Structures are given as structure tokens and as C-alpha cells.
Amino acid sequence: MCGIIGIIGGKPVSRLIYHSLFAIQHRGQSSAGKLTYDGNIHITKDAGLVRDVFNEEKKIDTPGNVGIGHTRYSTTGMDDIESLKINAQPEYSVNPFLAAVHNGNIYNCFELSKKTKRKPRTDCDVQWLLLLLADNLYKKEVTVDAILNACENVMPQLKGSYAALFLADSGENPFLFAITDPHKIRPLVLGKSNGMYCLTSETRVFKKINFEYVRDISGGSVAIIDKEGNIYEKQIIKKQALPCMFEYVYFAKPDSRINGKSVHKVRDEIGRMLAREHPVEADIVIPVPESGRRYVLGYTQESGIPIDEGIMKDKDERSFIQQTQESRDKVVEEGLSFIRSVLEGKRVVLLDDSIVRGTNIRKLVRGLKNAGAKEIHVRIGCPPLIAPCYLGIDMRSRKEFIARSENGEIKSWDTISHEIGADSLGYISIEGLKKAIGSEICKGCIDFPNGYPPEMQHDVEKLFRSDKTGVRAYECI
């Protein structure tokens, strides 16, 4: 999972991309980068947050009326600093010039590596999108038809999820273009402002840079924009849209819209659904900041139990997308404090978006009890996570899920409740989640393997069997 941004128009785009990267920082905290183009390549990328990577004016203001940017959440490659530096995006090829940023996960990279003689410069799956398209554009005039033909050749070979942006050089007329996977698992939206056009992961970017939302890019499509603002779009592969349920549950910010649906309203409905499916007698409802806050609004309105602030958050980092368990633990331990005057003697409903490993929720429950809470009833806005995501969420191994025992069996909710120290535990049902979102969804991590798109189910079962603890299964085959 990453954040991507591309802008093209009649004036320099560098500062717009820079500001946009802050709006999608929550989608990736391991590295950031941008590339602008004016006949020369102007690129800055490094490990770290946007504010750390772009720490000089000369890095922020670079020439070019077209450019792309990226905030990376590592789902391929190693997680040490040097690897994060090397794998930072954008990436580009020289002959022909083609630059790329990618959100998603291509899981058949080994197979794709045999289809090109070009050598990848990094471990990222963006390389295989880039190199295969470069092969198809080699020694050709880069035109709309040439790009469409290249994408028609490459996209059917890709397995996994992708929303990817490319910058292609055609001399006097550079192109910004995008491709999306057939099921539109990863989001991509189009905006405009005064003859300039923007493609990005979330609609909240448009508010940041004063662009107007135009539409979502449909699944299996190629969308090409030239410097004059002409847009050429073609759907190459048509399949049922199955957006990632975790976008709605956790990843996207609440002020964004995915496929026309307000993320805030979806989370509000998830909270209402939890109150209907798992009622409980309690005195107060407490959100896990900030991830549980949107669920609380719907939950309290449906249940009548008042909200209070029992937990304070002192840090901005998101614990789930930290690269190691040690750093996740550190964010939780150093970033939260508990308010005894609110909690003492109270029956508490604690709301959060999901439980993956269980480490964080255990510490939260223990903190609430240490602050004097009488009872703690945990309610979760996502069904139990039982299998790795092979499509861009970094849940690496089947052995790291609290809902799955060491022998592979799915645990009962009572068992999990006991393990985290809660008095009761209730997850939203899969049907309840689908109803709250209002559409079919990709749900492979909560309904394995049937929740994956049908054509992927054999592949993911193979990946599941090859799973090794702590290692991404698709990197082992």
C-alpha cells in the first residue's frame, strides 16, 4: 500500500506534487519521492517522511510541467534503512525514458522477470511494470496508440493489484498515464484545475491543492493525459470491481471518497452495525485514537452509550504501517496515555478498526484496566484477519494473526478475548461489513481463499502453503 500522485498541465507541477505528498503521507511512511520532467529528469527520493526527504527549497521547486510522486509503505524488499532508500520511488528507465510510481502488489514478479532482458535496479515490483512497458515502447514514437498497445500487451501478464502512474517522453509532448488492475483493488481518482490534471490515490489530495474531483478511474483501464489536457481512456480488461475492504476500514483517510462512497460515512455505518450485531451494557464508549474514532460516532448514536475520551494520542505515526514489530510497539507505548478520571469504575466499550497481531490491543486493554476500568468490551470494525494479504497490505505471514492458532485453526472469539484480557469481544460480520460499504469487496484476508478474486484463488493457496514465518510468501517462490 502506497500513495501515488501525478500532475500534468501548462505550468510547473513540483510544488503541487510536494504539497500533495503530505495529503497521502498516511499511506506510506518508509520513504518518499518525486520526479519532474522538462526534457531533463529532476528526481529526489529517500527513506523517511515527506518533511525529512524534502528539507531544502531546491528539492521542492524543480522545473517541469509534468511529474509524479510517491509515499511508500514497504510490501516488497527488506526493511533496513539502506533497502528503504534503494527501493524508494519514483523509478525510471532511460531508453526509452519512462518513469513510474506504483501502489499495490504484483505477486508473479519471478515469472515476469523471465520476459525481459532488462535488469531491475531495485527489489520493488514497480520494476516489472516499468521494464515490460519500456520493452514495448522501445524504438517507437511515443503516441497515445503506442501507449495503449503497450498496456494491452503488459496488463494481461500481471497478477496482483496495481494502480500505477507513468510519465513518458515524446519530445514536445510528454504524457502522464495510468493503469489499474481489473478488479480496481487499489484506488485511483482524477481531478482537474485550470487546464491541469491530477491522478492520485485519494480524493483528499484535491482539497489540499484546490483541484476539482472529476471521476474514479475504472478497473482494468488505461488513462492517458497529454500536456494540452486531452484525456484518452480505454478499458483493457473488464471484471467485477472488488475494492480492498481495508481501504474503507483503515487505510484511507475519512475525508476521502472511494468509488463515490464517503469513507467517513462507511465507518459511521460500521459503528452502527457493530452496535446492532454486538450490543452490551456499558457506561462509556472509548475510541482507539485515531483509528477507532469514526466507528465510535455511529456506535454511540445507535447504542445510546455516551462517548468519552479515555485514551490520549501523543504521536502522529500510524502503528500498523511501521516496518517492524519493535517500531509498532514503540509507537503504542510512547504514543498513548490513559485518563483515570474518565475510566475509573466504568464499564468501557473500546472500539478499533482491526486486530492483526494482537500486541497493541493487549497493551490498550491492560492500560485501561490499570487506569481503573471495571469492564472492557472490545468491538472491532473488521472481521477476524486470518490470512496474509497478497495484494498490497503488509500482513506477511499466516503465523502472525492472533485469530489463527499455531496449528492453523481459526480461534473462537472467546479465546481471543481471553488472550487480549477483555471481558468480551465482538467483530463486525463479513455480511455486515459488505452492507456498510455498500458493494462487493476484496476480502481475501478475512475469508481465505474464497474472498480473493476467483482467478487468484489457486495462486494464493499456493502462496499460503509456501508461507514462512516473517517472510512475504510471494518473495519465496
Phi, psi of 155, rounded to the nearest 5 degrees: -60, -40
Report the distance separating Cα 110 and Cα 477, nearest Å.
Answer: 8
DSSP result, 351-414: EES--SSSHHHHHHHHHHHHTT-SEEEEEESSPPP-S--SSSS----GGG-TTB-TTSPBPPHH
In this structure, what C-alpha cell is assigned to residue 120? 531491475
Residue pair 101/72 in contact (Cβ under 8 Å)? The answer is no
Query: Of 233, 275, 262, which Cα lies nearest the Cα of 147?
Result: 233
Is residue 175 helix, strand or coil? strand
With beta carbons less than 8 A apart as the criterion, state whether 187 and 221 touch.
Answer: no
Q: Where does 246-346 show beta strands of DSSP type E?
A: 257-258, 261-262, 284-287, 311-313, 336-338
Single-letter code of the amino acid located at 24: I
The residues that bridge with 43 in the sheet, in sequence order, are 35
How far does the chain reach from its first CA to its final CA, in angstroms? 21
- 341: DSSP letter: H
- Tell me 183's DSSP state: T
Residues 173 and 227: beta-carbon distance below 8 Å: yes
2 a catalytic residue: yes
Q: Which of 2, 109, 244, 389 is catalytic?
A: 2
User: 302: closest CA among 329, 327, 334, 280?
Assistant: 280
Q: How far is CA 455 from CA 160, 265, 298, 374, 423, in A?
A: 10, 31, 36, 49, 41
List the catalytic residues.
2
